Structure 1
Amino acid sequence: MNALLAANAVAGVASVAFALVGGVRPAALSGSGTPSAGERFYGWMYATRAVPLGVAAVLVPIAWPGPASSLILSAAAAAQVGDAAIGVATRKWTMIAGASLLTAVHTATAATTA
């Protein structure tokens, strides 16, 4: 259980880090040379949602294991499924792999903390 909580914490921190990079330097994730105003806007819009969810995914299973933890982790896993789908649509294999791994970790943690 402790190893799974640690893996979940690493997954949540990674998710927060990528969200912040997307907000601060959207071109680093999109691959565009110079990000447009719209790209910067959507980078920050994504970060304002992903950062709190990632922080909750790290802290809630440790502080409040049980149904609340399972719900938060299921929401985090669903967000990662969406990220993987975007990766498929844009053919970004690292995004597919990373989001799929985080989906599995959040789902496994949700199942064991419920």
Structure 2
Amino acid sequence: MNALLAANAVAAVASVAFALVGGVRPAALSESGTPSAGERFYGWMYANRAVPLGVAALVAPVVWPGPAGSLLLSAAAAAQAGDAVIGIATRKWTMIAGASLLTVIHAATAAATA
């Protein structure tokens, strides 16, 4: 169980880090030379969702064990699954792999802490 909690913590921190990079330097994730105003806007929109959800996924299993924490982790898993689908649609293999792995980790932690 401790290994799963540690993996969940690493996954949540990674999610927050990528969200902040997407907000601060959207071209780093979109692979465009110079980000457009739209990229910057959507980078911050993504960070606005992902940072609080990532922080919640980080603390949920410890602070709210049981149904409440499991619900938060399930929401984080669903968001990561959505990111994986976006990766599939845009053929970004690193996004597919990363988001899929985080989906599995959050979902397994949700099931283990329910």
Normalising by the residue count of structure 1, what TM-score does the alignment of the two structures yield? 0.99
**Any idea what SS the aligned residue of 2:42 has?**
helix
Amino acid at match of 1:55: V
**Any idea what SS the aligned residue of 1:69 has?**
helix
Amino acid at match of 1:34: T
Could you tell me which residue of structure 2 aligns to residue 79 of structure 1? 79
Distance 1:19 1:44 in 2: 8
Q: Give aligned-pair identity as a percent.
A: 85
Could you tell me which residue of structure 1 aligns to residue 11 of structure 2? 11
Could you tell me which residue of structure 1 aligns to residue 113 of structure 2? 113
Distance 1:47 1:21 in 2: 8
Q: Structure 2 stretches of 5 or more lacking a match? A: none
Determine whether 1:95 maps to 2:95.
yes
After TM superposition, where is structure 1 displaced by more than 2 Å over at least 4 residues in a row?
none
Deviations 1:16-67 (A, max 9, x none): 0000000000000000110000100000011011000000000011111100
Aligned-residue Cα RMSD (Å) equals 0.4
Amino acid at match of 1:11: A
Aligned length: 114
Amino acid at match of 1:73: L
Q: Structure 1 stretches of 5 or more lacking a match? A: none
Determine whether 1:29 maps to 2:29.
yes
Normalising by the residue count of structure 2, what TM-score does the alignment of the two structures yield? 0.99
Distance 1:30 1:73 in 2: 27
